[in-house]
A and B are shown apart, each in its own frame.
Chain A
Amino acid sequence: MIARVIESASPRALALLAVVTAALLIAPYLVDSYVLSVLIIVLYFAYVGQAWNLMLGFAGQLSLGHALFVSLGAYTSAALFIKFGVPPVIGIFAAIAMAVVAGCLIGYLGFRFSIRGVYFALLTIAFAEFTGIIVDHISWLGASSGLFLPVKNQQSNDLLNLRGSPTMFYYVILALTGFAFALCSWLLNSKLGLYWQAIREDQEAAEASGVPLFRYKMIAVAISSGLTGIGGVWYAFYYNNLFPETMFKTSQSVEIILGSVVGGVGTLFGPILGAFVLTPLGEILTAATDGMHLDGVKSFFWGFCVAAIVLFRPQGLWPWIYDVLGLAPKKEGKR
């Protein structure tokens, strides 16, 4: 499979991929702790963006409630760790199960009752907000005052319990991002991926050609929510605190999808590129508006940039950069 990808890509694209991969692998030894913390957030959004993109970009199902899957993964693994001492390396399976069950429930209801497009997106928002309000009232999970993981100042990195230095979290999220990328590129070219793309392009035509819509849409939701749930486990152990009024909110879902949309929905590199553009942009804006004592200036420019991208680069940045850098393989023409 890898051989086929390498064969089909242009030398220039392969060189770029190699350089970026190498740079990411040695980054913690080159940059200071601030830049490392930004890179960690970039990779987190690249990872969850990739997971979200699988559902909309590949299978054509718009979810605006992915905060639910992050939160379920985070709360499940954190609660198991705090209350029962279950290490995240085991808790992650419970976290995936919770996220997948929630995803399948929403998917089942949505697809069975043929709720489509905007209505399906609103259903995902409703489930996320609803669950958030319920968790806000469960005192066992800390309710509205939040759930906290014990923070010990320890010298060694404990990978099994996900306790350690930022560098360890960096490599964990880098591995996850690489894994999600590999999985998505494999899925996209598999029979499953072709079925998804058929559904995305024209649901009626796909159904008429004998693609079992319900089954393949459910598989897309299950994989997407499961991957997002894994991201939630990482999130819980990296940030060490969880609040329902931020975790389950639509604004959190928007943050998850933003990178993919800006980078290019339905492309493999889009979510990664989008995260690498947006997170540093936010940091630069914070630095630039730091001394101005004006609330809202930063978020205004942020909104302005996103609106500009929607209006002027509606296909996302990746297809554009792909052309500008001349990454398309010469013989086959454009993909």
Chain B
Amino acid sequence: MSGGLYLNVAVSGLLTGLIYGLSALGLSVIFGVIRIVNFAHGEMMVLGMFATLVLFRALGIDPLLSLPLVAAALFAFGYLLQDLMVRRVAHLADHMQFLLMASVAVMLISVCLMMFGPDAQNAQVSYGFDSFAIGPLLVDKVRVYAGIAALIVSGLLFAFFHYTPTGKAIRACGDNYTGALVVGLNVRRLYALTFGIGTACLGAAGAIMLLLVDVHPYLGPSYTLLAFIIVIIGGMGSLPGALLGGMLIGVSEALAGVILQPSLKSAFSFGLLILVLLVRPQGLLGKVSR
């Protein structure tokens, strides 16, 4: 019986982990190309969750259907943020970039607080309590849909970076900045596109996440830390690494929550992070740079 319990927990953790992975992709894309750590990561995801909530409440659109809209809105936000603000601190030291992104995070929290108040809110969909039964396995319907949606968006992202000219150009900027300038790529525009794509991932992840959790303005920092852990474990800048890291953290958090205590699950993740930083600082699938 307890074996079945662990299997159930592991599968639902795996599906949640796919969403974590998608959100971590957003962080990884931005760091891999622009070399900026987005410390407002979680807050942008929360922004996406609130946007989804508004569409659900006002127009009754299912979170999974409003996903493209929210992703597009966050794309525009990220594009403008990079082109108007982040670009200007590219030459500054790490701590100045950190502080700029942290102040963006504070402003985003404040805006959410002003518009939606401090209470936790959710989007209750009609299929919220249904579940699929496969043999002894019992999985929530929302979690399955959420996991599949996260996989599709991640797949689209891989296809974009590997098969489209723009995607290849962005990867070229990330691999060799000077080289990209020399061959005449419009690096400024490509950087803005990259930041936009990164935040669009967060919009998509936020829309999907709203199916599983309640949203409130102070949710951001925990998602930021979670994404850091995932990206470092998977390897900064590695897209498959982010997805793998997400699944690993999703499963281990879910199991730690059952075996130890729910409140200790993030201690487990931080422990895993410290271990990976020491044993394999480039991450599981990361390349050794320089």
A interface SS class: helix
Chain B residues in 8 Å Cβ range of A122:
228, 232, 273, 277
A310 interface neighbour in B100, B109, B117, Cβ under 8 Å: B100
Q: Mark B98-111, 1 if CB is under 8 A from A, else 0.
A: 11101111110111
- Interface residue total, chain B, C-beta cutoff 8 A: 44
Interface centre among B85, B99, B114 (most CB of A within 10 A): B99
A129 interface neighbour in B102, B270, B281, Cβ under 8 Å: B270
- Interface residue total, chain A, C-beta cutoff 8 A: 45
B157 CB-CB contact with A under 8 Å: no
Of A168-176, A254-262, A319-327, the one with at least 4 CB within 8 A of chain B: A254-262
Chain A residues in 8 Å Cβ range of B221:
249-251
Chain B residues in 8 Å Cβ range of A261:
95-96, 99
Given contacts A297-B114, A306-B99, contact A113 B277 (CB under 8 A): yes
Query: Is B92 a contact of A314 with CB atoms below 8 Å?
Result: yes
Chain A residues in 8 Å Cβ range of B55:
none
Chain A residues in 8 Å Cβ range of B232:
119, 122
Query: Is B37 a contact of A311 with CB atoms below 8 Å?
Result: no
Chain B residues in 8 Å Cβ range of A64:
98
- How many residue-residue contacts, CB under 8 A, span A and B? 124
Q: Complex formed: what's the CA distance from A307 to B89 in Å?
A: 11
Chain B residues in 8 Å Cβ range of A56:
95
Q: Complex formed: what's the CA distance from A254 to B95 in Å?
A: 10
Query: Is A310 a contact of B106 with CB atoms below 8 Å?
Result: no
B interface SS class: helix
By beta carbon, the residue of chain A nearest B31 is: A118
CB distance from A271 to the nearest CB of B (A): 13
B2 CB-CB contact with A under 8 Å: no
By beta carbon, the residue of chain A nearest B265 is: A133
B118 CB-CB contact with A under 8 Å: yes
Given A265-B93, A300-B107, A311-B100, list of 12 further CB < 8 A pairs? Answer: A62-B94, A113-B278, A125-B228, A126-B270, A133-B266, A134-B267, A257-B99, A296-B112, A300-B110, A304-B107, A306-B106, A311-B89
Would you list the 8 A-B pairs with minimal beta carbon distance, nearest first? Answer: A296-B113, A303-B106, A300-B110, A296-B110, A133-B267, A130-B270, A303-B107, A306-B103
